[in-house]
Structure 1
Amino acid sequence: MSLPALLLTTSCDRRADVGPVVVSVIGEAPAVAGADRLLLSTPDRILTDSVAEGLVRFDAAGQIEGGLAERWTVTDDGTSFIFRLREARWADGQPVRAAQVVNLLKRQLARGARNSLAPYLSAIDDVVEMTPEVIEVDLARPRPDLLKLFAQPELALVRSASAGGAGPFRATSVGKHATLLRPIDDPDRDPDDEGPTAEDNVRLIGERAARAIVRFTNRQADLVSGGTIKDWPLVQRAGIATANLRIDPAAGLFGLAILRRDGLLADAETRAALAAAFDRASLVAAVSPDWTAVETLLPDQLDSLSPPTQPAWAALPREQRLAAIRARVAAWRATAGTPSLWLALPAGTGGTMLWTRLAADLYAMGIRPVRLAPDDPVADLRLVDLVAPYDSARWYLSEACVACSQEAQQAIEDARVAPTADARAATIARADAALTADAAFIPLARPFRWSLVSVRLVQWQANARAWHPLNHLRRDTR
């Protein structure tokens, strides 16, 4: 049977709750947990999160739960985090000790540019061992929201290739593209309590979206994870049962970063007029009723002093927005000819769907669009599609400021080094206003993240982190 024909096969999803949970993650086969890469692929992140915990981790709802730490205390001003470690063992059977955790955390923090979270960890001043079971993380500046960063797979602790991490799974390779994960059995478990069974094992596969969808529709997988807008048209063609299709209310950035501040994009008012004229409602309606359009950089007030800054054009009807950019384009055309904008978009069917919508909007404005590869260095605009790792407005502003004004850059830096929470909130509000006025980023919608979920995975929950730990799928195997 051809691939298109297989994609049209509807899943009735009556896969029995027998044997390992099969999880197909979109992306290349996962590498060794803790691989020293700047950007871990989605399969890498899920494997790392499964076999090597950080101090804390995410639960099924995207909330913080204990990892290596069983409990913790945060000072009122957010400048000290004290963690008490649980009784845990590395994969080689050796007990986890505070001194080891301190050294591993310092190594993670020292990786600098090799850690994609490094720009948001600069407030950490020191990590010290207090007792063999207790460590303290000292901060130069208050960061009450730091726990969500500690829960990211990039900060999972891997002692060595042989010693591995501390769970909640142990990994066994079962082929080029698959890894079998077995839950760690608690040595202190009551003998009368049921321990892990074959159904608590997870077979983790990294593969292309088309193969993952076919595997699910053929009832050979229980979960497809890591879905983005890039591969969404394949899901639309596959006839997935409504009960199996899940959309996360993901928090983050989905929009166009302005990379060049010359030509038509040299003027902030023209950039703002351009941002205003995109038909966000039609874009999200073409994809899913569960996708939400946005017009502001920040999704909420978060840790800013003020609510999200509304762009000056937010209250205008679309006809008026279109008229404003058309007038500017007409003035440009009179002296320089028809303007062009080069868009760097993802490959694949989802990228083509986005291109069709965005190109139609640009043509309506009087601009000739040109599609480029995602990493093409000559692009004028590039799609940014990122889920926020934690709930700080500074993350949104920093990631959106690809080529923004000096004023906005300085305000974002001032927020990073602000000595108090109040000063940080005030500078974040100033940065939000400056970046919005500069119109260096065009917000379009929330990130779009989808999963295909078997009914046997009763613990799976949609959440703002779009993160689904493998020990919280069928039952809690902790």
Structure 2
Amino acid sequence: MSLGVAAAPLAGCNQRPDSGPVIVSAIGQPPRPIDPARVRLDTPTGLLLDATAEGLVRYDAAGQIEPGLAERWIVIDEGMSYIFRLRDARWSDGSRVEADQVVAQLRHQLARRSRNPLAPFLTAVDEIVTMTPQVIEVRLARPRPDLLKLFAQPELALWRSGTVGGAGPMRIVRGTRSPLLRPAADPGRADPDDPQRLAPEQDVRLIGERAARALVRFAARESDYVAGGSFVDWPLVGLAGIAPANIRIDPAAGLFGLSIVHRDGFLADPAHRAALSGAIDRAAITAAVMANWEPAERILPEMLDSAAPPALPGWSLLTPEQRAAALRQQVAAYGAPVSLRIALPAGPGATLVFAQLAVSLRTAGITPVRVGASDDADLRLLDLVAPYDSARWYLANACTVCAQPVQDALIAARDAPTLAERARLIAAADAALATDTAFIPIARPLRWSAVAMRLRQWRANTRAWHPLNRLRDDTN
């Protein structure tokens, strides 16, 4: 994928010495050590929780599953039971992690009152029980092959009440708005006669700030890593004077498009919604933000766990000119002025997206109105990275407001007793959602980072997730 970054001198990309703490600028608010069941996580707080309060498993640098609180696990009973053996771990206050505590925390995260965004995708968890002081079992009502990928998310990091953090690989040693993190001692590896000596380079200082400030800091060689970049901030990268060798793009999987929020007026008719989706010039939108950012016309990126290939919209075989003409005809036949409010975040990338959307809509006789990301709107931009590889996640998130048959199909897929039946029902839901047109796909999510050469363990991955303890080669 071409980066589309303005030419910048290569000098400086290798000049940061590998000395002193790794300075991370994460785009967002200052990180907060807080229970993940209470808030939705932005990048800074998600990185802090992932570092200080891991779950049973976690992601490594390449986005693959590795042990967390569980040192090993087995799957039995045809995928209906996961048994985890806990490692000899300590909470941040030094007390030993016990199975009863882990079970209680997992139940807390998945409780109905929890605000955890992953809870709706873990309804197959039937029971979580303590088997021994170091062994727990997660029993399922229905098989879920991707359970470990969900358990690896920072939203399922286990947070012990009354402590700052959990039992993650790092500890907060200086709790300010920009906390200093240090690798935690591992009781299973530590030699009491040879105390571990940590080099300053193993520390990480985590800063939460605006993208513009993060890029300026990186360009001035005052930080080593800018995390959490998206389409919103991408146009700033070319202005920052950062060497192209330092700019990395994740092949992120997920949803990027417009959710249809209100199904009234012009949007009440599914034929109108379909014509609107077909007339949007996706290639112009993506090219305006970043060269070679690939457009998307389908909700599902691939077959995944569906029984059929991704459903194509009915307009997919039409030429761009025919699509635009179809929307003009629908607007003209409607017989009343059409105005659509589009909710977008603030930022230069969002402005470019809106400008191209406006061209498509105005050409058809529709008046576009930009509103804030959380304001009432007719269309709302959805920009989400998929936490695991299930078609149901895509369809459920695309179905913000959709017809009852689509909702029924998604519920039936969720509750299917076998994987084969689940796959069949997912395919049916995908086809129904393509006909209903509750979501207008535009592209894959765009996720970028600025990475100093000293961070040799950084790897691009589909989760666009890069743990703070997996940046330098010698961190643990």
Q: State the TM-score, normalizing by the size of structure 2.
A: 0.94
CA drift of 1:425 comes to: 0.8
Secondary structure at 1:237's aligned position in 2?
Answer: coil
Is residue 183 of structure 2 the alignment partner of residue 183 of structure 1? yes
Mapped partners of 2:140, 2:279: distance in 1: 43
Conserved? CA contact 1:10–1:239, under 8 Å:
no
Give a deviation string over 1:16-66, Cα, whole Å, max 9, x none: 100000001011111114255331222111100000110000111111111
CA drift of 1:322 comes to: 1.0
CA drift of 1:184 comes to: 1.4
CA drift of 1:194 comes to: 7.4
Name the counterpart of 1:421.
Answer: 419
Matches for 1:54-453 after TM superposition, within 5 Å = 54-75=55-76, 77-110=78-111, 112-162=113-163, 164-173=165-174, 175=176, 177-187=177-187, 188-189=189-190, 195-332=197-334, 335-336=335-336, 338-377=337-376, 379-453=377-451
The gaps in structure 1 that reach 5 residues or longer are 1-7
Conserved? CA contact 2:150–2:387, under 8 Å:
yes
Conserved? CA contact 2:37–2:114, under 8 Å:
no
| Residue identity in the other structure for 2:281 | D
Mapped partners of 1:65, 1:476: distance in 2: 17
Mapped partners of 2:280, 2:261: distance in 1: 18
Mapped partners of 2:10, 2:178: distance in 1: 25
| Residue identity in the other structure for 1:406 | Q
Secondary structure at 2:410's aligned position in 1?
Answer: helix
| Residue identity in the other structure for 2:40 | L
Give a deviation string over 1:59-82, Cα, whole Å, max 9, x none: 111111110011111236321111
| Residue identity in the other structure for 2:169 | P
Compared with structure 1, are the counterparts of its residues 323 and 227 closer, same or farther at alpha carbon in structure 2 (3 Å cutoff)?
Answer: same
Compared with structure 1, are the counterparts of its residues 69 and 290 closer, same or farther at alpha carbon in structure 2 (3 Å cutoff)?
Answer: farther
Compared with structure 1, are the counterparts of its residues 136 and 315 closer, same or farther at alpha carbon in structure 2 (3 Å cutoff)?
Answer: same
CA drift of 1:389 comes to: 1.1
* Greater alpha carbon shift after TM alignment, 382-391 vs 364-373: 364-373
Mapped partners of 1:97, 1:359: distance in 2: 56
Mapped partners of 1:330, 1:346: distance in 2: 31
* Greater alpha carbon shift after TM alignment, 284-293 vs 383-392: 284-293
CA drift of 1:380 comes to: 0.9
CA drift of 1:286 comes to: 2.1
| Residue identity in the other structure for 2:417 | P
Compared with structure 1, are the counterparts of its residues 101 and 344 closer, same or farther at alpha carbon in structure 2 (3 Å cutoff)?
Answer: same
Conserved? CA contact 2:37–2:155, under 8 Å:
no
Conserved? CA contact 1:33–1:51, under 8 Å:
no
* Greater alpha carbon shift after TM alignment, 344-353 vs 189-198: 189-198
CA drift of 1:186 comes to: 2.9
Mapped partners of 2:282, 2:429: distance in 1: 24
| Residue identity in the other structure for 1:144 | P
Conserved? CA contact 1:459–1:474, under 8 Å:
yes
Compared with structure 1, are the counterparts of its residues 362 and 76 closer, same or farther at alpha carbon in structure 2 (3 Å cutoff)?
Answer: farther
Give a deviation string over 1:309-334, Cα, whole Å, max 9, x none: 111111222111111111112222xx
CA drift of 1:287 comes to: 2.1
Compared with structure 1, are the counterparts of its residues 217 and 411 closer, same or farther at alpha carbon in structure 2 (3 Å cutoff)?
Answer: same
CA drift of 1:95 comes to: 1.8
Conserved? CA contact 1:92–1:164, under 8 Å:
no
Mapped partners of 1:445, 1:347: distance in 2: 19
| Residue identity in the other structure for 2:255 | L
CA drift of 1:210 comes to: 1.2
Secondary structure at 2:348's aligned position in 1?
Answer: helix
Conserved? CA contact 1:11–1:216, under 8 Å:
no
| Residue identity in the other structure for 1:361 | S
Mapped partners of 1:407, 1:11: distance in 2: 58
Secondary structure at 2:369's aligned position in 1?
Answer: strand
Q: State the TM-score, normalizing by the size of structure 1.
A: 0.94
Compared with structure 1, are the counterparts of its residues 10 and 77 closer, same or farther at alpha carbon in structure 2 (3 Å cutoff)?
Answer: same
Conserved? CA contact 1:80–1:138, under 8 Å:
yes
* Greater alpha carbon shift after TM alignment, 188-197 vs 37-46: 188-197
Secondary structure at 1:119's aligned position in 2?
Answer: helix
Cα RMSD, aligned residues only: 1.9
CA drift of 1:215 comes to: 0.6
Mapped partners of 2:366, 2:232: distance in 1: 24
Give a deviation string over 1:281-328, Cα, whole Å, max 9, x none: 122222223522111011111111111111111122211111111111
CA drift of 1:159 comes to: 1.6
| Residue identity in the other structure for 2:265 | G
Mapped partners of 2:77, 2:443: distance in 1: 35
Secondary structure at 2:314's aligned position in 1?
Answer: coil
Mapped partners of 1:440, 1:319: distance in 2: 23
* Greater alpha carbon shift after TM alignment, 290-299 vs 189-198: 189-198
CA drift of 1:229 comes to: 1.4
**Runs of 4+ residues over 3 Å off in structure 1:** 8-11, 189-196
Is residue 54 of structure 2 the alignment partner of residue 53 of structure 1? yes
Mapped partners of 1:63, 1:195: distance in 2: 29
Is residue 41 of structure 2 the alignment partner of residue 40 of structure 1? yes
Name the counterpart of 2:3.
Answer: none
| Residue identity in the other structure for 1:398 | A
Give a deviation string over 1:190-226, Cα, whole Å, max 9, x none: 6789753211110011111111111101000000001
| Residue identity in the other structure for 1:469 | P
Conserved? CA contact 1:29–1:206, under 8 Å:
yes
